[in-house]
Amino acid sequence: MSHHACDTVKLLTINDLSAMKKRGEKISCLTAYDASFSALIDKSGVDIMLVGDSLGMVVQGHSTTIPVTIDDMVYHTRCVSSARKRAFVIADLPFMSYSSPENAATNAAKLMQMGGAQMVKLEGPRMEIISFLVDQGIPVCGHLGLLPQSINRLGGYKVQGKDLVEAEKIIADAYQLQQSGAGLLVLECVPAMLAKEISTRLSIPVIGIGAGIDCDGQVLVLYDMLDIGIVKRPRFSRNFMQESATIEGAIHAYNEAVKQSRFPTSEQSF
Ligand code: KIV
């Protein structure tokens, strides 16, 4: 066993991600659900792995994320966090696992203590829940725009914040989320101009999916960008297997494209 400083890779922290935003360095993120992909994504230099409740769709084969349980999330989070050396690991709090501050704290603790997550993500402008978690020392990533756990209320997977009233509500929510102590924000399926404004105004890093090129970072669902999804690949994603003969190469190409601001283009934006 060698313990030379030069071969120790350090885990990224929330401070590293904030420093990247300050430097104007793009933050790359992919979803991950198991140890093999975790190791591969980690090796490719992707900064964040999100154990998304999208696993309900791409791993479990459901049509929404609603059936995913906290035990499912703990299991997959542990698989991912055990295999990485550098990437920051965020785990989703699934549907109804943060219906009260106490409930949220109990479930977030499971993701961190048993799953090894460094941060938890929850959907919507839930300021009371966010500040309660942050008070317990739990780092929180917000998620605004399209909220897949609210799909039955929204009535479909569509672009959010298209009219002025909706856009102003998302801007106000984003600001309050930051005030409540959220350390990161995911913006999903919103017009590129709106995401640009929010990314510029907030001091915390904003990670976009279907939110244009001007976010501080990008995230995609792994199986979409490898083009092995069960359902049709969403317009905001891209098949990175077209640029590579191997899965490792496709992940590397995605990381480079994000870092060099070559992804997304207007083709994948709204
Ligand atoms: O569940 C998930 O994978 C997500 C991303 C799409 C942001 O929340």
Divide the 270 residues of the chain into consecutive groups of 10 and give the mean pLDDT of each group: 63 98 98 98 98 98 97 98 98 98 98 98 98 98 98 94 97 98 98 98 98 98 95 93 96 98 96
Nearest to 52 by CA among 164, 173, 175, 188: 188
Instruction: Look at residue 97 in the predicted model and tell me its pLDDT.
Output: 98
Instruction: Look at residue 8 in the predicted model and tell me its pLDDT.
Output: 81
Instruction: Look at residue 1 in the predicted model and tell me its pLDDT.
Output: 44
Residues with catalytic annotation? 188
Q: Which atom of ligand 1 is nearest to the CA of 209?
A: 7
Q: Which CATH architecture has domain 3-268?
A: Alpha-Beta Barrel (3.20)
Task: Please state whether 32 falls in left (phi above 0), alpha (psi between -120 and 50) or beta.
Answer: beta
Q: Which atom of ligand 1 is nearest to the CA of 186?
A: 7
Instruction: Look at residue 56 in the predicted model and tell me its pLDDT.
Output: 98
Q: Which residues pair with 92 in a beta bridge?
A: 121
> Which residue's CA is minimally distant from atom 8 of ligand 1?
52
> Which residue's CA is minimally distant from atom 3 of ligand 1?
52
Task: Return the best residue to mutate from 160, 221, 222, 223 for the ligand 1 pocket (most ligand atoms within 8 A of CB).
Answer: 221
Residue pair 176/125 in contact by the 8 Å Cβ criterion: yes
Ligand 1 neighbours (beta carbon < 6 A):
31, 50, 52-54, 92, 186, 188, 209, 219, 221
> What is the 102 CA–ligand 1 centroid distance (Å)?
24
How far apart are alpha carbons 54 and 5 in whole angstroms? Answer: 37
> Which residue's CA is minimally distant from atom 4 of ligand 1?
52
Instruction: Look at residue 7 in the predicted model and tell me its pLDDT.
Output: 61
> The tokens of 22 are what?
């300050």
Instruction: Look at residue 2 in the predicted model and tell me its pLDDT.
Output: 46
> What is the 9 CA–ligand 1 centroid distance (Å)?
26
Nearest to 268 by CA among 188, 155, 171: 188
Instruction: Look at residue 4 in the predicted model and tell me its pLDDT.
Output: 54
Task: Return the best residue to mutate from 54, 72, 80, 268 for the ligand 1 pocket (most ligand atoms within 8 A of CB).
Answer: 54
Task: Return the best residue to mutate from 51, 53, 89, 218 for the ligand 1 pocket (most ligand atoms within 8 A of CB).
Answer: 53
Q: Which atom of ligand 1 is nearest to the CA of 52?
A: 1
> Which residue's CA is minimally distant from atom 6 of ligand 1?
221
> Which residue's CA is minimally distant from atom 1 of ligand 1?
52
Nearest to 177 by CA among 144, 219, 135: 144
